[in-house]
């Protein structure tokens, strides 16, 4: 039980000076959320071109959608309890989108 609690904690510890040093778990999530999230958002932006609408509309809708996707991915990365799951989910979504983009472009 204590194991679960500690893994549920934010994963930061106070150092002797009172700095909050984020653990590797949290750092990893930050990188995944910001970098991976942007990647997925960019792929969403591209993937909309595969949809059956005129290019201008696709571009504009995809821009709106990509920001939504970015926000969702960031929240998701910090919500999934298991770190490896977070990486897998993001990588999975990116791959699917990547395939769509590759097929369409």
Partner 1 sequence: MSDSAKNQTLSMTATQTKPKIKVKGYRLLMTDVHTWFGLLLGWLLFTIFLMGTVSYFNNELTVWMQPEIPAVSQQTSAATLPATSSSPLQNVTSTVDKPEPFGMAIKNLQATQANAKNWFITKGASSTSHDQRLHITVSNDKERQHYQFDTQTQTLYTPRDTAGGNFFYRMHFDLHYMSVIWARIIVGIASMMMLIAIIAGVIVHKKIFTDFFTFRWGKGQRSWLDAHNAFSVLPLPFHIMITFTGIITLVSLYMPWASKVSDIDTQQFFEEIYSYRPANATELQPAPMVDVTPLLANAQADWQKLNPHYAVTSVSINHPNTDHSMIIVDGKADRQISTIGVFRIYDGQTGETLKQSEPPPLAVTAHTVMIGLHAGRFSDYWLRWLYFLLGVAGCGMIATGLVLWTVKRRRQLFDKNKPYAGFWLVEKLNIATLAGLPLAMVGFFWLNRLLPLNMATRAKWEVDGFFIIWAGSFVLTLLMSSRLAWRVLLSLVTLSLLFTPLLNSLTTERGFFQSVLNRDVLFISFDVTCFILALLFAYLTYAATFKQTPSKQKVKSNARLGAQVGNQ
Least CB distance to partner 1 at residue 25 (A) = 10
For residue 31, give both structure tokens: 């990188």
Strands 20-22 and 12-14 turn out to be antiparallel
Residue 32 touches partner 1, criterion: CB under 8 A: no
Least CB distance to partner 1 at residue 92 (A) = 20
C-alpha–C-alpha distance, residues 30 and 11, integer Å: 12
Q: Which of 13, 19, 27, 85 binds partner 1 (CB under 8 A)?
A: 19
Total residues interacting with partner 1, rule: CB under 8 A: 38
Check if the beta carbon of residue 8 is closer than 8 Å to that of residue 81. Answer: yes
Instruction: Check residue 82 and give left, alpha or beta (phi > 0: left; psi -120 to 50: alpha).
Output: beta
Residue 58 touches partner 1, criterion: CB under 8 A: yes
Q: Which of 20, 35, 95, 96 binds partner 1 (CB under 8 A)?
A: 20
C-alpha–C-alpha distance, residues 13 and 68, integer Å: 32
Q: Which residues are at the interface with partner 1 (CB under 8 A)?
A: 1, 4-5, 8-10, 12, 17-20, 41-42, 45-46, 48-49, 54-64, 66-67, 70-71, 74-75, 78-79, 81, 105
């Amino acid at each position: 039980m204590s194991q679960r609690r500690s893994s549920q904690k934010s994963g930061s510890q106070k150092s002797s000076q009172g700095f909050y040093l984020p653990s590797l778990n949290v750092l990893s999530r930050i990188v995944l959320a910001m970098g991976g999230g942007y990647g997925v958002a960019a792929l969403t932006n591209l993937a909309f071109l595969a949809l059956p609408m005129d290019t201008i509309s696709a571009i504009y809708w995809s821009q709106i959608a990509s920001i939504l996707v970015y926000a969702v991915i960031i929240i998701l990365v910090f919500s999934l309890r298991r770190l490896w799951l977070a990486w897998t989910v993001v990588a999975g979504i990116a791959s699917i989108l990547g395939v769509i983009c590759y097929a369409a472009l």
